[in-house]
Structure 1
Amino acid sequence: MSFGVSLTIGILEFFSFFYTVITFPVYAIIQRPWNRRTLSRRVKAKAISQNKSQITYRSLSGPTDLHKEIILKNKLDTLEKVWNYVVKEKTTAKCLGTRRILAEVDEVQPNGQIMKKLKMGDYVWRDFIETNRDVLNFGKGIRELGVKARSNVAIFAETRAEWMISAHGLFKHACSIVTIYATLGDEAIAHCINQTEVEFLITSHELMPKIRKLLNQFPKLKNIIYFEHQIHTTDTSGFGDINVYSFEDVLKRGMTSEIDSTPPVEEDIAIIMFTSGSTGVPKGVLLSHGNCLATMKNFIDAASRDDKVMPDDILIAFLPLAHVFELVAENACFVVGITMGYSSPATLLDSSPMIMAGAKGDAAILKPTIMTCVPLILDRILKGINDKVSKSSTIQRAIFTFANRYKVRWTRRGYSTPLADKIVFKKIQAVVGGRIRLFASGGAPLSAETHEQVKLCLCVDVLQGYGLTETSAGATITCKYDLNYGRAGYPSGSSDVRLENWEEGGYRVTNKPYPQGEIIVGGTNVAQGYYKLPDQTNEAFFVEDGKRWMRTGDVGEIHEDGTLKIIDRKKDLVKLQAGEYVSLGKVETEMKLCPIVENICVIALPSKNHVIAVVAPNEKILGEVAESMAIRGDFKSLCANTTLQKVILKDITEHGKKYKLFKFEIPTAIIVSDEPWTPESDLVTSAFKIKRKEVFAKYKNEINIIYPA
């Protein structure tokens, strides 16, 4: 920190002392921080059974009034009933919004490269009645094309309004939706389509070329329905004997159809949701309508227990609908009447890759109040904030640093900081539209630092949930008043959470100060198993006293207030030569907080007494470091520069020591990756989880040189 920044902070601290002395009694009387601290410490779940090998916890909170008024009173137990209820209640209220694309333009970048950008307009809205008309017509139209009730239909498309309309149209006829991530590899796509033996595939304009290329790998596929592009005509040639229909074609067929619906029942399979395949071939998880409703109830309780759903709430939807977290969250928004505007990672922010220079991203136009996200997105938002601050003037950096320290100090005591929020932090929230009040994070553990800093810098509540596809996402969820960060929340209303001894890792329920063990989830949100995989189903799932349970493979500890903390992963645990255990996921979570690290994959072998890592550096920060050292070149050449590689290794080594990692957990050597880790590069899943097998295969030669087996 420079002398100018330190001096300015010192002056601000001096004046803040007198401000605090004068205003403290007023703030204490108005804010009553002891109430906040009491709510944070309150016991949220208690053990209902315990022995030397396991302990089971259950939530102390019952259904909220909103849950009772909507779900229980109306006996909503299927997604089809949910939709019927919402349409009847909300009628002409805004339902689904899609931003208009006006044109696609070529934009010359500073390096001379030409990139495709979108010229975009405002959001165009369907109300609930209009959306329901499309839902009914799509369901009838696809039945006219030959889909039978209670059959499997695959959706392989990006998140958009038509995805949700198609899903609810199929639910009208008790069909099971086979969800396939839009970024899966070719082999995985073929596996999902062939294993479920679908004859109908719903896709999009953007993915039609991929389907055409893979067509000979789908022997049973007979029909393709595609979502049209707003400005481009879709090429439907080259599909041979496959029948190809546009989304609008199906709607038109449904307008004149007299086919009756076939409403599903609670036990019917709503979704065959294929996992993103981080450890091999994706597995199809069987989720019933009842499973989905169980997690929807949890989300409604979480959103309304300590807060209210507001009439002007808007969700910006951009996570994959092929992920259970997003799919159930959007349906939970439906049932409480929250409007949804669709987006994508390529157009979300002003800085997103498909947004023209100087133009506004979707968040700035939509001005959402709620956003679902994964930890990686929050990490990137936080890094973007820190990057912007680091480039500001000395005075601005000093003010931000002071305000951040000030807010951390007082919020940890249960106070809010309205003056600092108004002067400093509210301006920062403009990056996500300026109205966000709630982030709902899932898909992976959220680090304590990111959780706290996003909450403070953006003046929002951040609710973190824990769950798997196999538990319909919502097994636990945090309390908004919790002043302890880095925890995954307490058991949801539909779930019991059990810890069971894992002797190999040394995790036992008798450990002090907190019981530890493998996390096992039981309840109405636990899936029915894996599609056509009885052995793996029996290995992961079991029934006890009529309740379904699922072994997660995650390791946790439960604190005295009944809140779960994820501390390890059984499959990520590697025993080194000297007998020390290294949790790869734990080390990666800490190392991702190092500013120069964009992503990292830690590699450990039992024959070694140390670890190494493959590192994807942050391009901006690496460029700044290179410039400060008078090193020139493009990103690829900078990654290959041995001097810069040493700088990266030094930074992550110091970062590891700062966060008190053991010596054997800190990488002793690194391989620097010069390509982005995206689902398209096949180095991470659609949920941005590292695909270790693929990373290892791609960098096998380099790994063998610096870390031979």
Structure 2
Amino acid sequence: MMQHTAAQQPDEHQYSVVLPEALTTNQWVVRRQVNALSPQRLVDTFPAPHDDIFTLYDNLESSIAEFGDSPYLGHRTSDAKGQPGPYVWQSYAEVGEVRSAIGSGMQHLGIQPGSGVGLYSVNTPEWCLVDAACHAYSLVSVPLYDTLGPDTVKYICNHAELAAVACSLEVLGKLLEVLHECPTVRLLIVYGTRPHQRLPDVPAAPHCKIMTLDRVRALGYKHPRPHHPPKPSDVALINYTSGTTGVPKGAVLTHSSIIANAESCASCCEMLTWHLPRSYLPLAHIYERFNFTLVTHYGAAAGFYRQARCLYRRGNVLELLEDIQELRPTIFSSVPRLWNRIYDKVMAQIQAANPVSRALFNTAYQYKLAALQRGDLSGGRLGPFWDRLVFSKIKARVGGEVRLLTSGASPISPDVFDFLRICFGATVIEGYGMTESSCLISMTPPGDPRAGHVGPPSPACEVKLEDIPEMGYTNADQPHPRGEICVRGPIVFQGYYKDEANTRDAVDAHGWLHTGDVGTWIEGGRLKIIDRKKNIFKLAQGEYVAPEKIENVYARSPFVMQSFVYGNSLRAQLVAVVIPDPEYLLPWGKERGLPADLAQLCRTPQASGVVHAVLKSMMEEGRAAGLKGFEQVAAVHLHPDPFSVENGMMTPTFKLKRPQAQAAFQPDIDEMYSKLPQL
């Protein structure tokens, strides 16, 4: 397969600077971004004429005034036979009116300012309408992933003391299972129902009223209430982390912190056009909350898929592609998991193409890659020619109109990053952040040709790297200082709801948020994520290992769709459970006369040589990424079924639940170790 080396070129541009000694704290160097305002001060509001936007309520009100008749929320219709039709849209003005009616209806039903309101469904326009109503009447939004089970829903309802929950008909059953154990929930609002559809009774929960969203809206029109705008310091939402271990933690985010975070991106991306339809990820995740805040600010239109979660679930890919073709988004936000799948699929098709088509693609790709390596983001003089001749077919897969691709939630490979820039002819941005920082901490500048980093700190925060002696990371490291990424500024959350102990662990006495990620400062003051402080463990020889870093490296192997790397202090070697990528493994096996059945290949791997091939490919990727010998796995077990939310192996944000994975695969882990020598 053709090797695509990520664009790396000399660059003397300084994207961040070290603060003067007077502004540094303790012994660590502190950096801020270089822009019109930073490093003199951190930004916390939008620039004029929008410098009067301090809350999410202000953000929508401003856009209603500026973009009233423009489309805002869109969903795809279906005919009587269930066949998809066109997208239909609600304008900003229409959304503002319906939002006020819903909020008035909730107040009429006794939901008072300061109360918590749960939002429990896939992405829908109704989700956004209820959320906007919360902001207009000083209610606290508490999003719940639609994939959460009854026990977790019950925990969040009780921990956050929710007064109301708005949910889709699809998840209503899960909520009704535990509603009688949620004494604070007085109102259950259901959407996605048919006209005049009768809702189930809740005799086990007489304290709670249940009604459709249409009914609540009608009550609001009949009993209108004036808005009760929140203050910037008021809590906008409690975002419960997905929890790879233990119970979820509720991150408390204020209106001011969310607005500061959105502004930090706006000041970096002023050259981008946002006034066009787009599609996006789960709104319960802070990444999409951040995206949607910007969409609203710029008067863009947000289109919803028929099944919003089909970005991540098997079986709905065709619906996703059909909706993309209809929507033709100009902005597409996703996670490396999807970008990797697109990359692997395109490269597999190129390898299977006839020699002429393969040579044409490689010539076009190498030409645009060379342009990137020179710092030319336009693709060179012949870039438009190659786009029309070769890459337009790839771009058509996401509607043909995309101008901006964003990636977040986990690191993206530099090769995949450049692949997206070359094949889609779009601006590609990788962001780094977390719920506790209101999302964005840093992102790659749109005009930066270099891949493999996450850019400078956002203008709304400052960043330092704190030494981790036990892992060998210090600020004294040359030529690039290394350490745990710590963040301070108006974007940092208020703490975990009702959880002082975990709050103290996350934010120190000087206001620094400790991310648990390990970074290094590279040329130009760019931040690069290199490791993970959390989830580390020590091997028998005393070396520390961060399995997430290793799993991200192994994901670059065409054989590997997912992996779980395991080790402990009693053994000197690592082992891994690997979910093979069927789109690569099955054709590979067919060429060698092996069974065309993934489960069969995984059950009898030794006879077929599959394990050897998978392990060899993983080792090659590990060496290419600079993994040390003790960081390479010594054995693998192949398993045909992917880790998923449904089987309890992943969180709703698609992070591996390591304790559950260990419990599920302990017999396989023991078997692998039994065949390895004791070192």
> TM-score of the superposition, structure 1-length normalised?
0.87
Question: How far did residue 289 of structure 1 move?
Answer: 0.3
User: 1:170 aligns to what?
Assistant: 134
User: 1:57 aligns to what?
Assistant: 31
Partners of 2:308 and 2:123 lie apart in 1 by 12
Contact 1:487 1:564 in 2 (8 A): yes
**Alpha-carbon displacement from aligned partner over 1:451-492 (angstroms, at most 9, x marks no partner):** 111221221111111111000011111112222211011111
Partners of 1:102 and 1:355 lie apart in 2 by 21
1:568-587 alignment to 2 at 5 Å? 568-587=531-550
For 1:316, the aligned partner's letter is S
Unaligned runs of 5+ in 1: 7-35, 105-117
Residue 122 of structure 2: SS of its match in structure 1? Answer: coil
For 2:98, the aligned partner's letter is D
Partners of 1:355 and 1:275 lie apart in 2 by 27
Contact 2:506 2:514 in 1 (8 A): yes
Does 2:600 correspond to 1:634?
no
Does 2:123 correspond to 1:149?
no
User: 2:559 aligns to what?
Assistant: 596
Contact 2:560 2:579 in 1 (8 A): yes
Question: How far did residue 608 of structure 1 move?
Answer: 1.5
Contact 2:118 2:162 in 1 (8 A): yes
User: 2:47 aligns to what?
Assistant: 68
**Alpha-carbon displacement from aligned partner over 1:541-587 (angstroms, at most 9, x marks no partner):** 1353xxx4311111111124111111111113332222333221221
User: 2:166 aligns to what?
Assistant: 202
Match of residue 93, structure 1, among 65, 70, 91: 70
User: 1:369 aligns to what?
Assistant: 330
User: 1:554 aligns to what?
Assistant: 517
For 1:177, the aligned partner's letter is S
Assess, with a 3 A threshold, how the Cα gap between structure 1 residues 214 and 674 changes in structure 2: closer, same or farther: farther
**Alpha-carbon displacement from aligned partner over 1:219-238 (angstroms, at most 9, x marks no partner):** 43332112215799676356
Match of residue 262, structure 1, among 228, 244, 257: 228
For 1:200, the aligned partner's letter is A
Question: How far did residue 636 of structure 1 move?
Answer: 2.3
Report percent identity of matched pairs. Answer: 28
Partners of 1:355 and 1:377 lie apart in 2 by 11
Contact 2:75 2:304 in 1 (8 A): yes
Partners of 2:665 and 2:291 lie apart in 1 by 37
Match of residue 422, structure 1, among 388, 409, 426: 388
Partners of 1:619 and 1:214 lie apart in 2 by 39
Unaligned runs of 5+ in 2: none
1:188-337 alignment to 2 at 5 Å? 188-229=152-193, 236-237=200-201, 240=204, 241=206, 242-304=208-270, 307-309=271-273, 311=275, 313-317=276-280, 319-337=281-299
For 1:576, the aligned partner's letter is L
User: 2:79 aligns to what?
Assistant: 102
User: 1:409 aligns to what?
Assistant: 370
User: 1:46 aligns to what?
Assistant: 17
For 1:379, the aligned partner's letter is N
Contact 2:9 2:450 in 1 (8 A): no
User: 1:12 aligns to what?
Assistant: none
Partners of 1:551 and 1:169 lie apart in 2 by 33
Assess, with a 3 A threshold, how the Cα gap between structure 1 residues 669 and 230 changes in structure 2: closer, same or farther: farther
Residue 453 of structure 2: SS of its match in structure 1? Answer: coil
Question: How far did residue 653 of structure 1 move?
Answer: 2.6
For 1:384, the aligned partner's letter is K
Assess, with a 3 A threshold, how the Cα gap between structure 1 residues 533 and 225 changes in structure 2: closer, same or farther: same
Residue 699 of structure 1: SS of its match in structure 2? Answer: helix
Question: How far did residue 56 of structure 1 move?
Answer: 0.6
Contact 1:55 1:498 in 2 (8 A): yes
Partners of 2:254 and 2:154 lie apart in 1 by 24
Assess, with a 3 A threshold, how the Cα gap between structure 1 residues 77 and 123 changes in structure 2: closer, same or farther: same
For 2:506, the aligned partner's letter is A
Residue 670 of structure 1: SS of its match in structure 2? Answer: strand
**Alpha-carbon displacement from aligned partner over 1:303-340 (angstroms, at most 9, x marks no partner):** 21xx23254x22212x1111111112111111111111
User: 2:431 aligns to what?
Assistant: 465
For 2:622, the aligned partner's letter is G
C-alpha root-mean-square deviation of aligned residues, in Å?
2.7
User: 2:450 aligns to what?
Assistant: 484
Query: How many residue pairs get matched?
Result: 653
Partners of 2:402 and 2:490 lie apart in 1 by 31
Residue 239 of structure 2: SS of its match in structure 1? Answer: strand
Question: How far did residue 214 of structure 1 move?
Answer: 3.4
- My pick for the range that moved more, 680-689 or 468-477, is 680-689
- My pick for the range that moved more, 584-593 or 54-63, is 54-63
Question: How far did residue 345 of structure 1 move?
Answer: 6.3
User: 1:114 aligns to what?
Assistant: none
Residue 130 of structure 2: SS of its match in structure 1? Answer: helix
Match of residue 703, structure 1, among 669, 673, 679: 669
Structure 1 consecutive aligned stretches of length 4 or more whose deviation exceeds 6 Å:
344-352
1:679-690 alignment to 2 at 5 Å? 679-690=645-656
Contact 2:193 2:212 in 1 (8 A): no
Partners of 2:274 and 2:163 lie apart in 1 by 42
Question: How far did residue 528 of structure 1 move?
Answer: 0.4
For 2:659, the aligned partner's letter is K
Contact 1:156 1:182 in 2 (8 A): yes
- My pick for the range that moved more, 232-241 or 491-500, is 232-241
Residue 683 of structure 1: SS of its match in structure 2? Answer: coil
Assess, with a 3 A threshold, how the Cα gap between structure 1 residues 678 and 329 changes in structure 2: closer, same or farther: same
Match of residue 539, structure 1, among 478, 500, 505: 505
